[in-house]
Structure 1
Amino acid sequence: MASDPSGSNGIEARRASAVTFASRLVFDDIHHSYHNKDTIRGLSLTAEPGEVLCLLGPSGSGKTTLLRIAAGIEAQTRGRVLLDDREIAGPDVFLPPERRGVGLMFQDFALFPHMSVLDNVRFGLTALPRAEAEAEANVALDRVGLSHYAAKFPHMLSGGEQQRVALARALAPRPSVLLMDEPFSGLDSRLKDSIRADTLAILRKSRASAIVVTHDAEEAMRMGDRIALLKDGRLVQVGTAEDLYLKPKDIFAAAFFSEINEFPGHVRGGVVETPLGNVDGKDFTDGQKVHVAVRLTGIRVQETGGDTPARILSRRFLGVVELLELAVNGTDRPVRARVRADQLPAGLRDVTLSANQRDILVFEKDG
């Protein structure tokens, strides 16, 4: 006789698998406004099954609003949200959060202080009988390595452990898409690297698609299979970390992924004159106004032998590197550079600069 999937054998089978079937989540021409102010403006984006997609951008770019629309906490004013080609929010459909199969992990973890760790994780499993819900909660706690803390209360845990409890609670219902709103922002900077790595490993093991909101470009590059960069409610660029770093679409994208010096310029005879020398401008029309971006790490500073004379205005020791501000002819703003901390002698003032061509980016003035 076949075993009852709702009985102990079924629980053990689910415990053995403890995985999720990933889904595709599609934002189709999403618009959103709040108090007559547009917060998202015609944004289309797809999170592919099993991938970690990072929503990156400054405050007010629409990242969290887009996450809340996917979760069903907010409603878009126009456009559709689809889960595996099934419309879950649109002109004629609006599924409530509990019917979407989407998990949401809040920025502040939102753990209930009066509940044990096990009961916090079990909280989202109210549709199951108590014994089965507890079994599922224990599976989720085991997945994040906290099964031995099941009887403790949130205040007895460290920030990193609370973060993992919140992750376990979000994963317990086996969502096909997990939404995470700046999940590491409240953690000690010394813990972030290890907690991010642990979280990424758990996401890979659970096989859920994940959308992670962050304002930190390095965090997005560490976690994301792809990154969607937002600004003022619009999608600026989407791609891998290499795509966005090496081939930024505009100067906003370039500045978001690396510290840059910016110079205005004109294309004359196929070149652009900058305070750091001439730059190739053959991809632009003669006379066109452009922005030139030079990464701080792409400027070589040496006593002699460089292309451009400069004077050191300030040096800031940052451990492995020094941050320099330099006076250069042709610009009223100091040119910044990052160099190895042991590279230049103490007290040195007059130096020369050379820019690595790979770290110079040229963009249309209005691009």
Structure 2
Amino acid sequence: MTLEADDRDKKTRRTTAVSFASQLSFEDIHHSYHGKETIRGISLTAEPGEVLCLLGPSGSGKTTLLRIAAGIEVQSRGRVVIDGREASGPAVFLPPEKRGIGLMFQDFALFPHMTVLDNVRFGLTALPTRDAVVAARSALERVGLGHYAAKYPHALSGGEQQRVALARALAPRPGVLLMDEPFSGLDSRLKDSIRADTLDVLRESRATAIVVTHDAEEAMRMADRIALLRDGRLVQVGSVGELYREPRDLFAAAFFSEINEFSAVVAGGMVETPLGKAPAGHLADGTHAAVAVRLSDVRVMPQGGAIEARIQSRRFLGVVELLNLAIFGREEPVRARIRADLLPPGLIDVTISVAPQDILVFEKATQTA
């Protein structure tokens, strides 16, 4: 899809009809597959009208949790509660169509033999045919694709197919919309604009949205709150600022930015690293600590810094440069990400500094801050 066509679609887009946002809660959810535990006691609530991102690496349990919410998978223990009503538990199981949930799959799951309009009205079986057609056309117009109603999915670009899938999921006005890696198949040039458009539609519809992604930047762009998962467990949940500024462990710190890692032992309430000293927080003296410093927090200057260093490699990335730096007392290079052209060409000997508050300290055994 061209940028001109995208601009035209935006101009023709209607305001999205408002849904009645629901609250969805996972209560001590466990799940196993072929004897292997995939979800390990997750409790989490998506509040009405918020965008909650389930973030984590492959195999962390994100999609399984989404499928449990939808009623496609059944948990081995725990409950799914929607607006205070048990949807799935020890004695209750509501089928997917009874939960007031919309589901948008990673591959969009459009029917190739159906027109775009018929794809969107596929889930409107409770409405008379005439009303279903009107609702489907309205949903297509909300995402700027009303003029594509008679086309078939193969004639659409990936971004347009994504918007058709979004229209189909929102057409029944669900209280909760579940989205599984909805932007993973899109061209990187269009991903940002399609993601922004989708977020606008979600805000207009006011539906509660739970979005699965493995991309930390994508979660930060979209989410009101992020739930970070690892190995079927909930590592940390909070706002974007909370997870970035106050990571609970080394895994959380590394998931949101590239880091330099060091080992240290707490002494006098402090840790000492090749990049300087920092308070150890609540960790007792003698505790073995894992220390992290984000690449963007390493300040590099020709002179005046606290530590002498030598540039081993320098990679220009457009807006920024990535540096590998050799410093005394450390075999592995320290990495830094700085604004491009901040340092003169050909410069080798530099100095570096890191503010104490930018040195993140965690207990090494448990990696808990």
Taking the aligned partners of 1:178 and 1:285, their CA distance within structure 2 comes to: 45
1:1-367 pair list within 5 angstroms:
18-365=17-364, 366=366, 367=368
Fraction of identical pairs, as percent:
74
Taking the aligned partners of 2:217 and 2:15, their CA distance within structure 1 comes to: 35
Residues 64-112 of structure 1: CA distance to partner in whole angstroms, max 9, x if unpaired? 0000000011000100000001001001111111111111000011111
Taking the aligned partners of 2:158 and 2:357, their CA distance within structure 1 comes to: 41
Of 25-34 and 298-307, more deviation after overlay is shown by 298-307
Taking the aligned partners of 1:265 and 1:284, their CA distance within structure 2 comes to: 12
How many pairs were matched up?
A: 353
Residue 103 to residue 279, structure 1, CA distance change in 2 (3 Å): same
Taking the aligned partners of 2:113 and 2:105, their CA distance within structure 1 comes to: 18
Give the residue type in structure 2 aligned to 1:160: G
Residue 16 to residue 168, structure 1, CA distance change in 2 (3 Å): closer
Stretches of structure 2 that go unaligned for 5 or more consecutive residues are: 1-13
Taking the aligned partners of 2:240 and 2:226, their CA distance within structure 1 comes to: 7
Taking the aligned partners of 2:109 and 2:281, their CA distance within structure 1 comes to: 54
8 A contact 1:118–1:138 mirrored in 2: yes
Question: What secondary structure does 1:123 align onto?
Answer: helix
Residue 267 to residue 65, structure 1, CA distance change in 2 (3 Å): same
Taking the aligned partners of 1:353 and 1:17, their CA distance within structure 2 comes to: 51
Question: What secondary structure does 2:123 align onto?
Answer: coil
State the Cα distance separating 1:282 from its structure 2 match.
4.8
Residues 12-34 of structure 1: CA distance to partner in whole angstroms, max 9, x if unpaired? xxx99822100000000000010
Give the residue type in structure 1 aligned to 2:178: L
Stretches of structure 1 that go unaligned for 5 or more consecutive residues are: 1-14
Taking the aligned partners of 2:266 and 2:136, their CA distance within structure 1 comes to: 63
Residue 16 to residue 283, structure 1, CA distance change in 2 (3 Å): closer
Residue 282 to residue 50, structure 1, CA distance change in 2 (3 Å): closer
TM-score by length of 1: 0.94
Q: Pairwise CA RMSD of aligned residues?
A: 1.3
State the Cα distance separating 1:332 from its structure 2 match.
2.1
8 A contact 1:274–1:330 mirrored in 2: no
Taking the aligned partners of 1:99 and 1:269, their CA distance within structure 2 comes to: 60
State the Cα distance separating 1:41 from its structure 2 match.
0.0
Give the residue type in structure 2 aligned to 1:251: L
Taking the aligned partners of 1:134 and 1:69, their CA distance within structure 2 comes to: 30
Taking the aligned partners of 1:331 and 1:237, their CA distance within structure 2 comes to: 32
Question: What secondary structure does 1:122 align onto?
Answer: helix
Taking the aligned partners of 2:125 and 2:284, their CA distance within structure 1 comes to: 64
Residues 166-185 of structure 1: CA distance to partner in whole angstroms, max 9, x if unpaired? 00000111110000001001
Give the residue type in structure 2 aligned to 1:94: F
Residues 28-78 of structure 1: CA distance to partner in whole angstroms, max 9, x if unpaired? 000001011110000000000000000000100000000000001100010
Residue 79 to residue 205, structure 1, CA distance change in 2 (3 Å): same
State the Cα distance separating 1:311 from its structure 2 match.
1.4
Taking the aligned partners of 2:281 and 2:108, their CA distance within structure 1 comes to: 51
Taking the aligned partners of 2:291 and 2:329, their CA distance within structure 1 comes to: 14
Question: What secondary structure does 2:86 align onto?
Answer: strand
Residue 270 to residue 165, structure 1, CA distance change in 2 (3 Å): same
Moved over 4 A (4+): none
Of 216-225 and 327-336, more deviation after overlay is shown by 327-336
TM-score by length of 2: 0.93
